[in-house]
Amino acid sequence: MDRSFVSLLGLRLFVSCIGLVGNLFLILAIIQTKHSPVKSFELFLLGLATANLEEILLMNIYDIIILKTLYSLGTWLCCSLKFLTVFGEITSIFFSVLISIFRYEKLRDASKRANLPVYLDSIRSAWMVSGICVMLSMLLSFPIFVINLQSPAENVTRSSCPADFFQCSKTFCPQINCFYKYLFVVMCNLLPLIIITGTSCLTITVLVSQGKTLTPEVCVSGSSHSGTKAKSLWLQRSTIDVLAAMGLFQVVWILYLVLQLTSNTSDFTYKSEMEFFISTTYPSISPYVYGIGGHLFSLKIFTKR
């Protein structure tokens, strides 16, 4: 284990520790809120933070086992660990898509809609779409149990649990591996990236148009509209925080796609380590963006009785 690998692994573990603390604080902050019932946005944040926490924990456990147990790890345990890791990753991505869509729906036509709710404001609808995200994540993670595990033929110290489940030898690559790789890339990376980019652009357009009309309305409106205007301003500030998280999402998963589609494990020695680091960045930093921006990370929340 050379020095550069140790440095990269140490940096990833440091980011992971930050992520564990951030996601735990976000979960506790949401649980400690006193208003009832739980709002849809908070439910989506809770699902995101839980998926982030599971992904970070399993990703590090999986990595440590790969480094320490090259021969003794059974195929079933290897696949189970990878299944849980991929499940957390996909669930985190899908909840990010939900948050992006929900925030755009809340902001669109907010002045005309007044206090009328959107579809996802219903807690029943929020639970339903959250359940769909979890079930879809399980279905997309399940092929882990049926793909063929391979290590590069040149690797003398063959690992029973390869870091990259999509890797193939240069002479033979099973069709199931290729099919699952591109299914995963399209359904879990490319499509969510397109949706989040689209909703983010639409949200920015709405924010710009509302910013142009807000000041004249405030000047001519009476006190009866002050509560609505304050709510609109709060929604805009909250939306900016969501946009910041979505911007982080786009940067991270664009890098992941470039790494996944342009490099091979046998050609790039540290591909798996770089993949782990990139995958850990969004779930580690995003809870701070949501928590600090949404004023959830406050001592007042934890000291309420």
* 114 dihedral zone (left: phi>0; alpha: psi -120 to 50; beta): left
Residue 30 maps to a domain? yes
Residue 263 neighbours by CB under 8 Å, 6+ apart: 271
Residue 97 maps to a domain? yes
**pLDDT score for 134:** 96
Neighbours of 14 (CB within 10 A): 11
CATH number at residue 26: 1.20.1070.10
Is the torsion defined by CA of 135, 254, 163, 15 positive or negative? negative
**pLDDT score for 242:** 86
Residue 225 maps to a domain? no
Residue 246 maps to a domain? yes
Q: What is the pLDDT along the chain (305 residues), one digit of tens a residue?
A: 556 666 766 777 788 899 999 999 999 888 877 655 678 888 999 999 999 999 999 888 877 766 655 545 667 887 888 889 899 999 999 999 999 999 888 887 666 666 677 788 888 999 999 999 999 999 999 988 887 665 444 443 444 566 666 666 666 677 777 788 888 889 999 999 999 999 999 989 888 886 655 444 444 444 444 545 555 555 666 778 888 899 999 999 998 888 877 766 555 556 667 777 788 889 999 999 988 876 676 656 555 54
Q: How far apart are CA 111 and CA 92, in angstroms?
A: 31
**pLDDT score for 35:** 59
**pLDDT score for 31:** 84
**pLDDT score for 93:** 95
Residue 106 maps to a domain? yes
Residue 229 maps to a domain? no
- Give the residue numbers spanning the domain of 110: 14-144+179-215+241-302
Question: In Å, what is the CA distance from 242 to each residue of 76, 81, 99, 105, 246?
Answer: 39, 31, 8, 13, 6
Name the nearest CA neighbour of 236 among 198, 195, 206: 206
Number of structural domains found in the chain = 1
